[in-house]
Amino acid sequence: MTSSPTRRSRRPDRQPRLLTPDEAAAYLAISPRTLRTLAARGDIGRRYLGSSPRYERTDLDAYVDSLPETRDDN
């Protein structure tokens, strides 16, 4: 008896490149509404698959990296 080859994922052990709005908001620990506001202002990149917005993990990381490291409470 022979076994059939196992199908492998095209991207094994990797997280998805594009996130839904809810996933992206959770990734940043912000509300989906705040995420939409940031995207509308151009602070975070947004792409569309058909009519559905998606967010690249690299764009979210770049946004976090652009934030100040400390808060100035003067």
For 22-64, write each residue's pLDDT tens digit. Answer: 999 999 999 999 999 999 999 999 999 999 999 999 999 999 9
Taking the model in full, what pTM does it have? 0.73
The residue-averaged pLDDT of 5-13 equals 57
Phi, psi torsion values for 15, nearest 5 degrees: -80, 155
